[in-house]
């Protein structure tokens, strides 16, 4: 029969050996830069601006095997997968012409996702806004039929002149008396703000003097394309 003290010493030695033996190094977190959201514009004639988005993929330590995914494969990455190490590797993301070409005019909030293999790894997400521009000619027709009673391109009427509205700060046309609410709003008119304004001006700027709603998203994008065409 083994002495209990000897047995205890053997177990203690085994425990100490396990404790002191080096632990397998853990690979670092997956890093994707830049972090800021990106916007891609697609014009009616199929031109993209910018054509490519560039990211840098790396890890804090060790390495990670990663795969790039995008919602409904709206974008493709080159390379689409690989090994991430401390030294950042560039990934070029380009629009998928076939997928995006089938979309109606509108603003789409999409997401690029880098999936890293291994237990406990979190997905790294980057937001991309895709603006599919409308048809300026159709927008002119809509403006003539539905907006010209209150607005003109060159002069103020019941509403302010809309020539140059794209890229202009809200509530700043000389000689027009705006509501205090719109002056306080003070954002620049571009796709996202104009789309929200045309969809429901009272929701965007409570207390503004416009009450007309453009309910169809395609009509909104066509109208925005026209207003953009008459802005410098």
Note the pLDDT tens digit of each residue in 125-182: 999 999 999 999 999 999 999 999 999 999 999 999 999 999 999 999 999 999 999 9
CB-CB contact of 157 with 147 (8 Å)? no
Note the pLDDT tens digit of each residue in 191-203: 999 999 999 999 9
CB-CB contact of 32 with 124 (8 Å)? yes
CA distance 191 to 193: 6
Query: What is the predicted pLDDT for the residue at 10?
Result: 37
- Set out the domains of the chain in order of their start, with CATH numbers: 30-132 (2.60.40.10), 136-229 (1.10.760.10)
CA distance 162 to 174: 12
Query: What is the predicted pLDDT for the residue at 217?
Result: 97
Query: What is the predicted pLDDT for the residue at 168?
Result: 97
Q: Is the pLDDT of residue 117 over 60?
A: yes
Q: Is the pLDDT of residue 121 over 60?
A: yes
CA distance 116 to 84: 9
Backbone φ and ψ for 59, nearest 5 degrees, come out as -130, 165
- Residue 101 — left, alpha, or beta (φ > 0 → left; ψ -120 to 50 → alpha)? alpha
- Higher-confidence position of 7 and 164: 164
Q: Is the pLDDT of residue 15 over 80?
A: no
Query: What is the predicted pLDDT for the residue at 63?
Result: 85
Query: What is the predicted pLDDT for the residue at 29?
Result: 86
């Amino acid at each position: 029969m083994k002495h209990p003290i000897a047995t205890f010493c053997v177990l203690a030695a085994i425990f100490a050996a396990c404790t002191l033996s080096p632990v397998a190094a853990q690979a670092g977190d997956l890093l994707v830069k830049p972090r800021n959201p990106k916007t891609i514009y697609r014009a009616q004639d199929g031109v993209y601006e910018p054509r490519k988005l560039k990211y840098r993929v790396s890890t804090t330590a060790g390495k990670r095997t990663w795969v790039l995914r995008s919602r409904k494969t709206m974008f493709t990455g080159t390379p689409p997968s690989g090994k991430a190490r401390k030294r950042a590797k560039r990934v070029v993301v380009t629009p998928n012409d076939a997928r995006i070409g089938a979309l109606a005019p509108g603003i789409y909030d999409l997401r690029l996702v880098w999936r890293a293999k291994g237990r406990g790894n979190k997905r790294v997400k980057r937001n991309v806004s895709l603006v599919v521009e409308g048809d300026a000619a159709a927008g002119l027709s809509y403006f003539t039929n539905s907006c010209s009673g209150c607005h003109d391109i060159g002069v103020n009427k019941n509403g302010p002149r809309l020539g140059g509205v794209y890229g202009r700060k809200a509530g700043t046309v000389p000689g027009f008396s705006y509501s205090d609410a719109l002056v306080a709003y003070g954002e620049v008119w571009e796709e996202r703000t104009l789309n929200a304004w045309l969809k429901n001006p009272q929701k965007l700027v409570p207390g503004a003097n416009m009450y007309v709603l453009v309910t169809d998203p395609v009509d909104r994008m066509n109208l925005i394309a026209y207003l953009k065409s008459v802005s410098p």
